Amino acid sequence: MHVIKNVNLETVCGITSALPENIHPEVAFAGKSNVGKSSLINALMNRKSYARTSQQPGKTQTINFYNINDEIYFVDLPGYGYAKVSNEIKAKWGRMIENYLQRSKQLRLVFLLIDIRHEPSQNDRHMYRWIVENGFYPVIIATKADKIKRSQLSKQLKLIKNTLDVAEGTPVVAFSALSKQGRDEIWDLIETYALNMDYDEADENGLTDGEEV
């Protein structure tokens, strides 16, 4: 388990903000509204409620950069797929996320969060393909694992893999914010693909497509 010495919400980027020129590796978290992004980030940071949560889904309109131990950044991307948000705002969020995926020089790994209880939505499928088209094969985090029976776990993980048509070899991790199931496994992936190797090595292991982004 990674020891968390300090956490700092260092940068908050809005639609018109320039991206920070960070010197440490970045790990990004994408997922639809209410999928449990803040809960996952808080669990990984070993904090109860540090990551910003919005009482109203679809309200988060910023990209938040959390500096962890002055060695890595967790990058919380705006949630997508909330029905009550206007198409104009959705388009702006899309441009924000795409701009980040294409322009960040330090992005090493992208996590895509999917609610384990449901078949991935059309928005989830679009987001998976979009992340791949922007140069990354996202690791899939199946959230809310405590909400289903253990006997359903492998069936639901298989449903997520098949519906998203994930690339062969892509890690799919069941996670529970309640029991912390999957937390150590996710940290192992972060340490392997973001902290302990350079970008070229990560390419060889298949979590980026080998192209400059």
pLDDT digits (tens, 9 = 90+) for 89-111: 777 778 888 999 999 999 999 99
Tell whether 152 is covered by a domain.
yes
pLDDT digits 0-9 by tens, 143-161: 999 999 999 999 999 999 9
Tell whether 73 is covered by a domain.
yes
Tell whether 201 is covered by a domain.
no
Say if residues 161 and 128 touch (Cβ distance below 8 Å): no
pLDDT for res 17:
86
pLDDT for res 55:
53
pLDDT for res 137:
96
Number of domains in the chain: 1
Say if residues 153 and 174 touch (Cβ distance below 8 Å): yes
Tell whether 21 is covered by a domain.
yes
pLDDT for res 82:
64
Picking from 97, 108, 115, the residue whose alpha carbon sits closest to that of residue 27 is 108
pLDDT for res 56:
55
Measured CA angle at 18 (ends 104, 94), to 5 deg:
70
Tell whether 210 is covered by a domain.
no
pLDDT for res 207:
61
Rounded-to-integer distance, Cα 44 and Cα 56, Å: 23
pLDDT for res 83:
58
Tell whether 212 is covered by a domain.
no
Q: What CATH code is carried by the domain that includes residue 170? A: 3.40.50.300
Q: How far is CA 105 from the centre of its chain?
A: 17
Domain of 50 in residue numbering reads as 7-196
Name every residue whose Cβ is closer than 8 Å to that of residue 134 and which is 6 or more positions away in sequence.
98, 101, 102, 213
Rounded-to-integer distance, Cα 11 and Cα 106, Å: 15
Rounded-to-integer distance, Cα 211 and Cα 97, Å: 18
Of all residues in the chain, what percent carry a pLDDT higher than 70? Answer: 85
In the predicted model, residues of the chain with pLDDT beneath 70 are: 1, 52-60, 82-85, 197-213
